[in-house]
Amino acid sequence: MAMSVEGLVIRRAGEGDLRQLVALFAEDAIGSHGDTTDEDAFEDYLRAFHVIDQSPNEQLFVAELDGDIVATYQMTLLRTLRGRGAVDAQVEAVHTRSDMRGRGVGAQLMQHAEAEARRRGCRLLQLTSNAARVDAHRFYDRAGFGRTHLGFKMKLK
């Protein structure tokens, strides 16, 4: 993970980043989250952004290069009773623009997530990944994540 992308800035997302973020998610064919750049859906994204942005336990980050959003991730802090009240950091919605993959952007994103989790005193940094994302799994292995648990999901909508 020593690769570094010159000029890449990782920062908290702002409302002005929203359209580029939605476009990132909409290009994802594997996730099947129903993301769309359709203007009629924008208010849904805007409402969700404001909830995330105002939460003390959620942070949305973007990686910006030459004025373009090229990657993103969201971190949620989970206070648990186990572990003597430990705080865990959950990383979700990790996405790198398809033309930027393999250049080190994701590595810098995960280094940022680790540093942010450490700064907040978290006990661990965890994430889940769609079983079909074999390339992403190899990336997370290289990034230092261990395959320690098996995840389960139940769709409600």
Domain boundaries, the chain: 9-142
Q: Which CATH class is domain 9-142?
A: alpha beta
Output phi, psi for 47, to 5 deg.
-60, -45
9-12 sheet: strands from edge to edge: 9-12, 58-65, 68-79, 87-96, 124-127
Structure confidence by residue, pLDDT tens digits, 90-145: 999 999 998 999 999 999 999 999 999 999 999 999 998 888 888 889 989 899 99
Check if the beta carbon of residue 127 is closer than 8 Å to that of residue 24.
no
Q: What global pTM score does this model have?
A: 0.90
Q: What is the pLDDT of residues 2-54, one digit of tens each?
A: 467 899 999 999 999 999 999 999 987 776 578 889 999 999 999 999 999 99
Q: For residue 69, count other CB atoms closer than 10 A to its CB.
A: 20
Here the tokens at position 127 are 């994430």
